[in-house]
Amino acid sequence: MSGKAYHIGIGAQEVGEATLALLPGDPDRVPRMAAALDEARPLGQHREFTSWKGVWSGREVLVCSTGIGGPSTSICVEELAQLGIRQFIRVGTTGSIQEKVPVGAMVITQAAVRLDGASLHFAPLAFPAVADFQLTKALWLSAQAKGIPSFVGTTASSDTFYPGQERYDTHAGWVPRHLQGSLKEWQRLGVLNYEMEAATLFTMAAALGIQAACIGGVIAQRQKSEQPVSAEVIRQTEDQLIDVAVGALSHLELP
Ligand code: URA
């Protein structure tokens, strides 16, 4: 793969003039997201990293999947930064832990609780994982303009989907003692949701001197169930998520 970054399967030639990347976790969401841009076309695919490019208001925009969780996100962001990307918007799905945040709503992450391991490789735990204000504001303005219910606040980013998000509906049915009661504690502290990448992305952004933000479409309501909702509702939520995320580009000055 000469001329290509180590893992993501694309190089500077494919990235071209793009300086902003939209980052879904799921490779299948990449072509759907790129289709909301003009001139969408595939660039490459390697492991969990699928890349497409499109054009928005005359500017090239990259869409690349991170895979699930901090380690693969850190690889994706590092290699895209090497290739010239400076603004990163994670566009993912999430589980709400607050009654007021229903399925189908958007959560725009202002700061992330660092329940991951990868961010520790960029900054000590005392360092806060904070979103870029300009990108976050653009996501908020886009959601407002489209009338899609949205909440801005704190997200808990966990390395695990099951114990780290205190799910008992599992093979062992057991959550280690240090995580028992953690969901209630995060609720009490006003945390809106669980997902698995924002803390790594935001901490890396500070360490690398790049900008990052995160928006999540709510596909599980943990007050009601440990399970995500139906495939149909997930699909509808993802459509709105993509609409808001791409709409945010109109509220941004791309460098
Ligand atoms: N993603 C998560 O990490 N948790 C959920 O509950 C749903 C999506």
pTM of the shown model: 0.97
Probe residue for ligand 1, chosen from 162, 192, 196 as the CB with the greatest number of ligand atoms within 8 Å:
196
Q: Among all residues, which ones are annotated catalytic?
A: 7, 79, 167, 222
Residue closest by Cα to atom 2 of ligand 1: 195
pLDDT of residue 1: 47
Residues of the chain predicted below pLDDT 50: 1
Residues in contact with ligand 1 (CB, 6 Å cut-off): 93-95, 161, 165, 194-196, 219-220, 228
CA pair distance 56, 249, nearest whole angstrom? 7
Q: What is the DSSP letter of 138?
A: H
pLDDT of residue 255: 59
CA pair distance 196, 161, nearest whole angstrom? 7
Q: Is 164 left (phi over 0), alpha (psi -120 to 50) or beta?
A: alpha
pLDDT of residue 228: 85
Burial of residue 55, with CB atoms counted within 10 A of its CB: 0-12 exposed, 13-18 middle, 19 or more buried:
middle
Amino acid letter, 137: K
Q: Of 215, 206, 111, which is closest to residue 154 (Cα–Cα)? A: 111
Cα 249 to Cα 14, 101, 138, 203, 246: the distances in Å are 21, 24, 7, 23, 6
For residue 161, the ligand 1 atom closest to its alpha carbon is: 3
